[in-house]
Structure 1
Amino acid sequence: MTDKARPDFDAYAGDLFGEIMLADTAPAQAERKPLSRYIPGFAICAIASAAAAWLSQNYGVPIILAGLLLGLALSFSAGDPRTHEGLDATSRHGLRIGIVLLGLQVTLMQIGAMGAVPFLGLALVMSAAIIAALLAARATGQSGSVGLLAGGATAICGASAALALYGVIGRERIEQAQFTLTLVILAAASAIALTTYPALTQALGFSEAQAGFLVGASIHDVAQAIGAGFAVSDMAGAQATVVKLTRVALLAPLVTLAALWIARTQPIAATGKTTRVPMLPGFILAFLTLVGVNSLIDLPPEAATNALIASKTLLLLAVTATAMRTRTDLLLELGWRSLMPVLAATIASLGVALGFAHWAL
Structure 2
Amino acid sequence: MPEPTHHPVSTPPSPWMRPLRQRAPGLVLTLVLALAAAWLAQQPWVARWGLSALTLAIVGGIVLGNTVYPALQTRCGMGVDYAKQRLLRLGIILFGLRITLQQMGQVGWSGVLIDVIMLTSTFGLAVWLGRWLRIDGQTAILIGAGSSICGAAAVLATEPVLQARGDKVAVAVATVMVFGTLGMFGYPLLHPWLASLGAGDAAYGVYVGSTVHEVAQVVGAGRAVSETAADHAVITKMIRVMLLAPFLLALSWAVARRGVRVGARAPVVAPITASGPTADASARSRITIPWFALGFVLVALLNSLPLLPAAPRAMLLALDNLLLAMAMGALGLSTHASAIRRAGSRPLALAALLFVWLVLGGGLVNALLGHWGR
- Give structure 2 stretches of 5+ with no counterpart: 1-13, 265-278
Instruction: Kindly indicate whether residue 54 of structure 2 is the aligned counterpart of residue 64 of structure 1.
Output: yes
Contact 1:146 1:341 in 2 (8 A): no
| Structure 2 partner of 1:249 | 242
Which residue matches 1:37?
A: 22
What are the within-5 Å matches in structure 2 for residues 85-100 of structure 1? 85-100=78-93
Q: Secondary structure at the match of 1:156?
A: helix
Please state if 1:351 is matched with 2:360.
yes
Q: CA deviation at 1:279?
A: 5.2
Distance 2:202 2:220 in 1: 15
| 1:149 aligns to 2:139 (yes or no) | no
Instruction: Give the alignment partner of residue 183 of structure 2, picking from 193, 197, 202.
Output: 193
Secondary structure at the counterpart of residue 261 of structure 2: coil
Higher mean Cα deviation, 266-275 or 121-130?
266-275
Partner of 2:317 in structure 1? 308
* Match of residue 318, structure 1, among 305, 327, 346: 327
Alignment partners' CA distance in 1, 2:183 and 2:216: 12
Deviation string 1:78-114 (CA, Å, 9 cap, x unpaired) is: 4521111010111112211111111122122222332
3-state DSSP of counterpart to 1:142: coil
Using the alignment, how far apart are the partners of 2:301 and 2:54 within structure 1? 28
Kindly indicate whether the alpha-carbon contact (under 8 Å) linking 1:46 and 1:317 is maintained by their aligned counterparts in 2: yes
Deviation, 1:188, is 2.3
After the TM superposition, list the runs of 4 or more consecutive aligned residues in structure 1 that deviate by more than 6 angstroms: 269-272
Aligned residue in 2 for 1:73: 63
Q: Does 1:234 align with 2:227?
A: yes
Q: Render the CA deviation track for 1:112-164: whole Å, top value 9, x for unaligned.
A: 33212222222221122112211221011123333222212221111111111
Aligned to 1:220: 213
Structure 1 letter corresponding to 2:301: G
Partner SS state of residue 220, structure 1: coil
Aligned to 2:6: none
Decide whether the 8 Å contact of 1:68 with 1:320 is kept in 2.
Answer: yes
Q: What TM-score do you get using the length of structure 1 for normalisation?
A: 0.84
* Aligned 8 A contact 1:97 1:283 in 2: yes
Q: 2 CA distance for matches of 1:263 and 1:303?
A: 39
Change (3 A) 1:326 1:277: farther
Range that drifts further, 301-310 or 328-337: 301-310
Alignment check: 8 A CA contact 2:26 2:78 kept: yes
Cα root mean square deviation, aligned: 2.4
Alignment of 1:160 onto 2:153: yes
What TM-score, normalized to structure 2? 0.81
Q: Confirm or deny: 8 A CA contact 1:186 1:342 kept in the other structure.
A: yes
Of 252, 267, 292, the match for 1:283 = 292
Letter in 2 for 1:111: M
AA of the residue aligned to 1:245:
M
Q: Report percent identity of matched pairs.
A: 27
Distance 2:90 2:63 in 1: 26
Q: Give the counterpart letter for 1:51 in structure 2.
A: A
Query: Please, which runs of 5 or more residues in structure 1 have no aligned partner?
Result: 1-29
- Would the alpha carbon gap of residues 293 and 236 (structure 1) be closer, same or farther in structure 2, given more than 3 Å must change? same
Change in 2 beyond 3 A, CA 1:130/1:46: same
Residues 1:334 and 2:319 are matched in the alignment: no
Would the alpha carbon gap of residues 268 and 209 (structure 1) be closer, same or farther in structure 2, given more than 3 Å must change? same
Q: 1:270 to 1:257 in 2, by over 3 A?
A: closer
1:350–1:305 distance in 2 versus 1, CA, 3 Å: farther
Cα distance in 1 for residues equivalent to 2:153 and 2:90: 11
Question: SS state of the match for residue 135, structure 2?
Answer: coil
Deviations 1:215-254 (A, max 9, x none): 1011111222133222211111111121011011111100
Matched, 1:177 2:186: no
What residue number does 1:126 align with?
119
- Name the CA distance, whole Å, in 1 between partners of 2:308 and 2:348: 42
Q: Which moved more, 1:239-248 or 1:145-154?
A: 145-154
* Farther-moved stretch of structure 1 (301-310 vs 273-282): 273-282
Letter in 1 for 2:81: D
Specify the code of the residue in structure 1 equivalent to 2:32.
I
Pick which of 36-45 and 296-305 moved more.
296-305
Q: Distance in 2 between matches of 1:209 and 1:112?
A: 14
- 1:260 pairs with one of 214, 228, 253: 253
Structure 2: distance between partners of 1:275 and 1:330: 30
Structure 1 position 69, deviation (Å): 1.5
